[in-house]
Structure 1
Amino acid sequence: MTLHSVHTLSTGWEFKCDTDEKWLPVAEVPTNVHIDLMHHGLIPDPFEDTKELEVSWVAERTWHYRTTFPTPSDARTNGANIDLVFEGLDTFATVTVNDRVVLECDNMFVEHRVSVGELLAAETEAENTLEIVFAPARRRGLEIVAAHPEHDFIVHQTEVSRGPVRKAQCHWGWDWGPILLTCGPWKPVKLETYVSRIQDTRVNYDIHISQGAQPVVEATVHADVLGPAAEVVVELIMPGERVVTLRDRNGDVPGGASSWSYTSAKLSIEDPPLWWPRGYGPQHLCQLRVRSIAGDGVTILAEAQQAVGFRKVELIQEEDQFGRSFFFRINGVDVFSGGSCWIPADSFLPHISNQRYRDWIELLAEGNQNMVRVWGGGIYESDAFYAACDELGILVWQDFMFACASYPTYPDFLASVTTEAQQNVRRLRHHPSIVLWCGNNEDYQLIERYNLEYNFESDKDPLSWLKSTFPARYIYEYLLPNIVKAESPSAIYHPGSPWGNGTSTTLKVDPTVGDVHQWDLWNGEARPWQQLPQMGGRFVSEFGMVAYPHADSLERFVTDPAERYAGSRTMDFHNKAVVHERRLLAYVGENFRTEWAAAGGLAAFAHLTQVLQADALAAGYRAWRRQWGSRQGDGGGARRCGGVLVWQLNDCWPAVSWAIADYYLVKKPAYYAIKRALAPLAVGVSRKFHDWTTRPADELWRRNTGHVDPRRALTDIRFDVWVVSSRLESVRGKVRVRFVSVRTGQEVRQSIEKEVEVQPNGCTEVLEGCEFDWGEAVVPEPEHFVIYASLWLDGAQVSSDTSWPDPIKYLDFPDRGVEVKRVGQGLVEVTAKRPVKGFVFSERSGVHLDDNGFDLIPQEEPKVVRFEGTTEELAWTFVGR
């Protein structure tokens, strides 16, 4: 007798277009139609060249998928239930079993379970036919828009049809991704046979943490069991073989209850193994196992198992001298959240394997990042994604799937969203890595742009919001928070990103409250990246700069050698950012000499964009992490900036974008710049920025350099040096500051050395507002020099940072005396006789470096880089070469 079996229907499928008669085999489910068409050579790879344009017709057709499966043996004679489980159908799908309609769905984020026992062939092992018909998402979206004239469908980034469709919003294209409207069974399809099954488990808990005392967890276990069961057994297996076992019998009901919602008595666990974010402690995980037992006390009718981590999470929003704080406190410890925003790792979601998810999260961890934000225009990610975050200590900021639109609120839409939210909160709530649920991405910004109704203080009636010109407020401030509270009571909810507690929700960045998206870099005013230290907020949840991938990646998706130049038709096509031609060239031109790019072609231009991106992002991370401060000072309110998340970590296709690692997981120099800025101990140095491009006279003179005195950059020099720490204990060390001539490599004045005690979990100022006095210099007249700061512990250098004169294009780079040589297995040493800006090895897929995109300073310890994955010499370059 099969009491509980799950058979994944992954093979034996075929598909066709509604205009064709011939069915074609499907290699494997999960899949989508583009994958299957490419498999048969019926469409080109849309990731190559401009071939995205050649596959647009696919989204206009109706597609059929079908398979057969046998009736489970003994299922009828033993009275077992038979369900078809569709973990995800993309998106408008009609499902038939033996020509009977069993399901119609319109939400790719929702799992469906259908009882099909009475529809199957009577004889066991007889074949049954399962067919799924997928209608075009864009066409259906336009039909819904037309059917609801009472709603103003305001949709940004794409055309209007995506507004009412519960599908990955980026499938309509974005300013970094292609228009690829997929369809198909994108998640597994399963046939489940059971007498009893466990349909839900949950652990609710509180952690009591007192200074000087061991933490205590008080937990309650819930389990919903469907079908007869005489007993429920719950085991909580903790590290070190510590096991808590709970049993509950239902002996009064013959054969057990037909449905059972089990709730344990409250457990008290002293000194529990806590889960910590990366860098703050171990990532302890417990295993929760729930079993339903038959009346004989031996037969296991069903079993469910999941990992659980115990941690206390608080979002600290307190009034202080800067406004209102916004940072996370984990297990009583303030944590600076340094990380990245995440988009789907592939436009074709079934292509993302569990290992590829793991590789991405390992890349985060290796880069000293401790948070990832799952952006609201993609998907609720795979279990493998969150499991990797749990194991590696990466905090997750989880958006609900709403982005850049004013969403409707008609009853069917709200019902679908309710199911979507309930299911995904239930699926993900046991992951200790998830520390915040956020209602949407940038939807509140439409309020100002379109003058929509929003009265946060005066209108507290959710029903009235439905009648306003911004009805989606009902979703973000009533529906979703109540679902989160019901399904995961201890979870933190934030209505939107950016959002400032009702006081700041619009296009204007408010640095005093909530989280901010800082897009006056690149977008908006397109301000110089050097101004980023003055452009922060209480939590910067988006900012970024566009850069090219490495040459090897470019050659993989630009197949025509004639198109491999900056600004070619193909290169422009793979950069979806609005007016990128003007913005990227403007930033490159402001900072670098155009001749440096012209001399080396595409690779040289790509290199300059990479150095630009690395400089910009490092400036943001360094300056805003410096604002983390220390709660030991300023009355305990110095957490001016609680976190920084770059837009973006990854790409969904091969592209020129904001990503710091490209589609092939090849890291750009910016990745390493962030890694250095987020090191557990990191020294920083900055100098006064002389804005050579803005407002020399008045507001009408923007972007004019003709009346700026460039000599001031040589004579008016003030600099700061500081050390940031994520360690929880103070550290004694030494900071050394050198002033090195760009021209000669010699010091222009005596270096500064200071003994420092680095305060724990904050910033220690070493030098503030120091004026460089040329009277102390050893050179006859002012010249350009770099300021090089290094931090030393026990005679070893643990961190360094370099401040260059701006703009770099005003500098000359004669022979730098660079030498690159192998010094051991997997080791290469790089030295220079004069300062070098932006030394970059050209990386490629499969090659791993532990550092890249660094500056070189003479008379310092040689830079040693570890590498693996190749025995060949890697090409390298630097600015001005």
Structure 2
Amino acid sequence: MKRTIGLSDSWRVRSIAPNATLDTAHREGDLTLQGMDGADWIETSMPREVHEILLEHGVIKDPTLLGEAEACLWVAEKDWIYTCQFALPVEDRGTAVYLHLKGLDTLVDVYLNGQHLAYHNDMYLPLRLEVTGRLRDENVLVLHFHSPHEYIKNYEFPQEWQGKIRPHRVIRKNETDFSDYLGPKPYLTPIGVYDDIVLEVIDDIELLDTKIDSVLHDGYDVADVTIGVSGIGSIPGGELSYVLIGPDNTVVSEGSGAIGQTAGTWSVTFLATVKDPALWWPRGYGKQPLYRVVVTASVGDDKKDVISKSIGLRRIEMAGPFEFTVNSKPITLWGAQPVQLEGITHRWNNEKSNRILDLVENSNMNAQRIWGACDRYDDAYYEETDRRGILVWQEFFHDYGMYPDTAEYRDLCRREAEFQVTRLRHHPSLLMWCGGNESVMGAEYDHPGAEVIGAAIFEEDYRAVCAELDPGRYYHVNSPSGGAFANDPLAGDTHSYTNTWYVPGADYPVMIAEEIRASPPSAKSMVRYFAGTDPYPPDYSGKITATDEYPWPSVWNKRASTEAWKKIPPIELFYDSTDLASHVHKFGAAHGQYFREILENNRRGRPSSDPDGRRTCMGHFVCRGNDIWPTIYGSILDYYLEPYIPYYEVARAYRPILLSFDVGNFINLWIINDTLEPVKGTVVVKLFDPRANAFVRQLQREVSVEPFESLLVTDLNEFGQFSRTYVLFAELVDAQGVIRARSNDLVDIEKHQRFPDAKLDVSVAGDVLTISTDRFARYVEISGNAAGDEFGWYYDDNFFDLLPGEVKKVRILGEHQKGQISVKSVYSSSATVVDFLRT
């Protein structure tokens, strides 16, 4: 049987001055050496990148602390040696042995027992080396990581690249390792080992790949599953078998065949038929049943190798730009653009990833866009998105602007794409491929009319790889692209920076692949971000005047990235601030209101003046989902994975059934149904007078809205003239009396309103809060405290409005088992506090 031997222990790491090659003693892992720069060896385990190791051993301070990232610049300006001593007895060496280094960052020479094995120069590609016959009873593995900054400094740039291609792009390494875009000041460049290092011992036969294609017949009553298996090696009596196991763990189909006597690589294809297949659906549209394909190479009862993959049976088609259907049903994409999981390392953190996916589900998202400047996500992520029904827009690893176009560089990119496509194509959650993020748009914007250097990577190479290896899936050249210009919202996808760019046609786009406004996280997170520094200085006025350069205290710029102050939401609509809490609230509320308005507008898909027109917008992605540094930018989950007002406004705006007020020259009410079933019921619309503390007018309409449709329910003209202090309220009640949707809105801006001092009645039973109010309660905030720990408290809704007569039930999420929960309207004088004990 194929065996995997992990090389996780007995590692030592040290720095040396940048060197092209190692001397003999270092190649052989001599631990008695004092080092070329006097550095000591540090004992550690793998996988670990250098900054992680140094932090664990107290060599550096936490780079996330204010000012400490700059103190770590020296780390990636040195070379680093990793060395490991390991034993491998003769009986464990097998027919063939491979050294599999799954994640190297990035420029590294590999030595085994003093002999040079390989040079590796691409962090997105694993390195697998045959070491058959090179192993001893006792072995030494040495990895010499070269400083990326030294490499860039010595690289000779062609004249035609000058001013067009960012220097660090000559290395196939994460874009954000050389900038402060995600938060570090000025930057932090990881270096080292970020994934497992293992020995793979092969016993005569190895399975190389299993390519699984499924085709659903019209009518969806039969599915044909083609299982293409490739392998290497053979032995008399060698047999290949497969079994297809259904979602109920029963065998659906099985078969076998002889491998034959081919000495080199071989391939075998099986065809399995599934009757009455259980269909896989995106989240919110149905269930996610998974089938499992297990392929085994064996000789008699001796299993030589096994590959197991889960698949989902579904048909995805695209009729027009981003007009996706799943199993012939139209879908819209509502999601976010996540980034890496950690700042000081590219090492995968599955626990953190799953926490983010929990919050993704809670926010009613059904898709995620894996951004071109992101990390290579682990297989576990896609297994989770399969189980949860979260569709994945997967980009190849490119970001804003032009790229090198040398043959060597294009070959690396092509190999990356082949690796990605081969390992991910069986996942039912994988929706589409995309060449990268803003590569073409950035080139157009910065160098109008110029040739886009490296465009052939996206337009030719990746397209060809996808056509060959995954021909049934949509390939998108770059995001954004598809119209008269790269960011044209009327034909392709668009990135919405409409507060800093003028983009014609931005109100009703085909697809918003990126929507951003910048705001700080909650006040409690800001206090942590600026530990030791007052984030709201005593002399700060809380206002914006003609002499103020920034809309916030200048100290915030130590945590803000990419001119975030230019990308703020409409804070002018909210009250001037007097302290940190009110200042942070102003930004968060404005950010949330912007998202709510733009998302509801997108989901309506057309103006109220053309209610019978075509619904144009096929989806929307928030930029961005999470932070990996304590930073002030556009994320809806901060560095501590704390959601704030924008997160909850997005969650409400993404609800499958939505009531939406369109307040303009007239006030109109819309209903949007993004479920697979028709929605019927009675819509009740009311006006609430906060001063009288009473509903003063009411109307109702019977509605029926088909799946994937938006419908103008009514205008409010019959209410005539009324005070702008009134609150709009609407709810949809079905025939069984169940409230299917509700909404409320203001007629005037927040700054013009005066809100009452609401008293909230709160009770808790198990993990459910029940909340009601005596007066209109604006931005009801729920917070928790477990013996001083205010972080990690999650709720299925928060920062919502509540009107008298409503009873709001909120589930308490997260891992806290007990504590005190405080509930308060932001404009009220006191909170209601209850004890919580999870039962």
- For 1:25, the aligned partner's letter is I
1:272-311 aligned within 5 A: 272-294=277-299, 297-311=300-314
- For 1:287, the aligned partner's letter is R
Q: 2:678 aligns with which of 713, 722, 730?
A: 730
Q: 1:190 aligns with which of 181, 185, 198?
A: 198
Q: 2:145 aligns with which of 127, 134, 141?
A: 134
Residue 810 of structure 1 is matched in structure 2 by 752
- For 2:7, the aligned partner's letter is L
- For 2:631, the aligned partner's letter is A
State how far apart, in whole Å, the 2-side matches of 1:221 and 1:582 are. 52
2:93 maps to 1:93: no
Q: 2:765 aligns with which of 791, 811, 824?
A: 824
Distance 1:841 1:154, change over 3 A: farther
Residue 15 of structure 1 is matched in structure 2 by 13
Residue 460 of structure 1 is matched in structure 2 by none
1:728 Cα deviation from its structure 2 partner: 1.9
Distance 1:316 1:111, change over 3 A: same
Distance 1:174 1:543, change over 3 A: farther
Distance 1:746 1:250, change over 3 A: closer
Query: Percent same amino acid among aligned pairs?
Result: 25
- For 1:851, the aligned partner's letter is D
Q: 1:753 aligns with which of 696, 700, 714?
A: 700
Residue 30 of structure 2 is matched in structure 1 by none
After TM superposition, the score normalised by the length of structure 1 is: 0.84
CA contact (8 A) 2:223 2:275 kept: yes
Distance 1:676 1:563, change over 3 A: closer
Distance 1:880 1:175, change over 3 A: farther
RMSD: 2.5
2:213 maps to 1:204: yes
Q: 2:361 aligns with which of 340, 361, 365?
A: 365
Residue 685 of structure 1 is matched in structure 2 by 661
User: Could you list the per-position Cα deviations for residues 492-542 of structure 1 after superposition, in whole angstroms to 9, with x for gaps in the alignment?
Assistant: 100011111xx3333xx4332111111113x325x9xxxx99623001111
Q: Which runs of 5+ in 1 are unaligned?
A: 318-324, 455-468, 689-716
| Equivalent position SS for 1:812 | coil
Q: 1:667 aligns with which of 638, 643, 652?
A: 643
After TM superposition, the score normalised by the length of structure 2 is: 0.88
| Equivalent position SS for 1:419 | helix
User: Could you list the per-position Cα deviations for residues 265-310 of structure 1 after superposition, in whole angstroms to 9, with x for gaps in the alignment?
Assistant: 443333222211011111111111111112xx22111111111122
Q: 1:538 aligns with which of 504, 510, 522?
A: 510
1:227 Cα deviation from its structure 2 partner: 1.8
User: Could you list the per-position Cα deviations for residues 389-439 of structure 1 after superposition, in whole angstroms to 9, with x for gaps in the alignment?
Assistant: 110000000011100020011011011111111111111111111111001
- For 2:9, the aligned partner's letter is T
Distance 1:138 1:805, change over 3 A: farther
2:599 maps to 1:621: yes
CA contact (8 A) 2:208 2:231 kept: yes
2:709 maps to 1:762: yes
2:596 maps to 1:587: no
- For 2:826, the aligned partner's letter is F
Residue 76 of structure 2 is matched in structure 1 by 59
CA contact (8 A) 1:186 1:350 kept: yes
User: Could you list the per-position Cα deviations for residues 148-198 of structure 1 after superposition, in whole angstroms to 9, with x for gaps in the alignment?
Assistant: 33434625xxxx222222111111224333221100011111111112211
Q: 1:846 aligns with which of 770, 779, 792?
A: 792
User: Could you list the per-position Cα deviations for residues 695-753 of structure 1 after superposition, in whole angstroms to 9, with x for gaps in the alignment?
Assistant: xxxxxxxxxxxxxxxxxxxxxx5211111112222222111111122433333x42111
1:386 Cα deviation from its structure 2 partner: 1.0
CA contact (8 A) 1:498 1:505 kept: no
State how far apart, in whole Å, the 2-side matches of 1:216 and 1:727 are. 25
Residue 244 of structure 1 is matched in structure 2 by 253
State how far apart, in whole Å, the 1-side matches of 2:441 and 2:828 are. 42
CA contact (8 A) 1:425 1:487 kept: yes
Residue 439 of structure 1 is matched in structure 2 by 435
| Equivalent position SS for 1:412 | helix
State how far apart, in whole Å, the 1-side matches of 2:515 and 2:259 are. 56
Residue 32 of structure 1 is matched in structure 2 by 49
1:824 Cα deviation from its structure 2 partner: 3.1
CA contact (8 A) 1:88 1:108 kept: yes
Residue 645 of structure 1 is matched in structure 2 by 621
- For 2:311, the aligned partner's letter is V
Residue 469 of structure 2 is matched in structure 1 by 487
2:804 maps to 1:865: no
2:455 maps to 1:473: yes
State how far apart, in whole Å, the 2-side matches of 1:139 and 1:877 are. 55
Residue 787 of structure 2 is matched in structure 1 by none
State how far apart, in whole Å, the 1-side matches of 2:625 and 2:307 are. 34
1:430-579 aligned within 5 A: 430-451=426-447, 469-500=451-482, 503-506=483-486, 509-521=487-499, 523-524=500-501, 535-560=507-532, 562-563=534-535, 567=552, 571-578=556-563
2:370 maps to 1:374: yes
State how far apart, in whole Å, the 2-side matches of 1:92 and 1:44 are. 25
CA contact (8 A) 1:723 1:766 kept: yes
| Equivalent position SS for 1:384 | helix
CA contact (8 A) 2:778 2:825 kept: no
State how far apart, in whole Å, the 1-side matches of 2:229 and 2:196 are. 24
1:107 Cα deviation from its structure 2 partner: 0.5
1:72 Cα deviation from its structure 2 partner: 3.9
1:783 Cα deviation from its structure 2 partner: 4.5
CA contact (8 A) 2:297 2:305 kept: yes
- For 1:514, the aligned partner's letter is G
- For 2:711, the aligned partner's letter is T
Distance 1:215 1:142, change over 3 A: farther
- For 2:138, the aligned partner's letter is E
Q: How many residues align?
A: 780
User: Could you list the per-position Cα deviations for residues 825-873 of structure 1 after superposition, in whole angstroms to 9, with x for gaps in the alignment?
Assistant: 4444444444333222346432121210111223x31323232524213
CA contact (8 A) 1:518 1:535 kept: no
Distance 1:571 1:264, change over 3 A: same
